[in-house]
Amino acid sequence: MKEIRTISAWSYGCYAWLLFILVLLIFGSLIMLVRTPRHARPVARTGTRLLFRFAALPLAIHDKERLPRTPHILLVNHTSFLDGLVLTALLPAQPGYAFVVRQQHAAQRVLCPLLRALGTVVLGRPHLHAAINTRRLRKALRRGKNLIVFPEGGIAPDAGLKAFHSGAFVAAVAENVPVVVAGLRGSRRALRLGTWLTRRIPITLEIGAVLTPDVKGMEPELNLSKAAHEAMLPLTGEEDFGE
């Protein structure tokens, strides 16, 4: 029985990765042809939705109507390499969202044309380029972009909501735009860090509180970060590792 489960898991994992490669080749090529985020994001959404449908990975989004129609920053917990694909499949493509990512992997340079076509905002390492990163975020918000930020900054192997980086909150206060808190559940179990075997686990995105910066208060960035962390924690279903 154990051998059958192992073979089944490996078979499904191979099937899921073949699907991903096929979708990346077809829809990635289309995205780089259309080039502009306005046209590329609907293509990406269609591709990722087909990927999850054929992979039999159920997706759901709750309280989507809470998303503002004005420029905002959407904060989401980061639990798996599936997160970006899940968010692309679930969130509206128009006007859509620009992901905020850090330049830290060689693969990102290979995918640069694809990331650029989708309007991705690429940041430098925070300890070296903090001021430049903040200016890039503020510039994107002034242009009317909606941004997706993983405030924990990266994926950790252990479950739990980590401490937040400050950049998104500095930009939100400076540009006086709302911060929307959301929580992903299921993606950590569907593709755990350190393994390539995908599991058929339902994944849910819940849109939570919309927080408005108190630009006239004391330490508005810190207060906004604390409020966002408190609002996100129950949406994740995980423990608080923020300290």
Nearest to 71 by CA among 139, 150, 126, 130: 139
CATH number, domain containing residue 220: 3.40.1130
Confidence tier at 190 by pLDDT (50, 70, 90): very high
Whether the model pTM is above 0.85: yes
**pLDDT, tens digit (0-9, with 9 covering 90-100), for 39-80:** 999 999 999 999 999 999 999 999 999 999 999 999 999 999
Nearest to 44 by CA among 102, 80, 94: 94
Residue whose token pair is 């029985």: 1
Residue whose token pair is 């994740």: 236
Domain containing residue 128? 2-241
Nearest to 91 by CA among 112, 109, 74, 114: 74
- Give the count of domains, the chain: 1
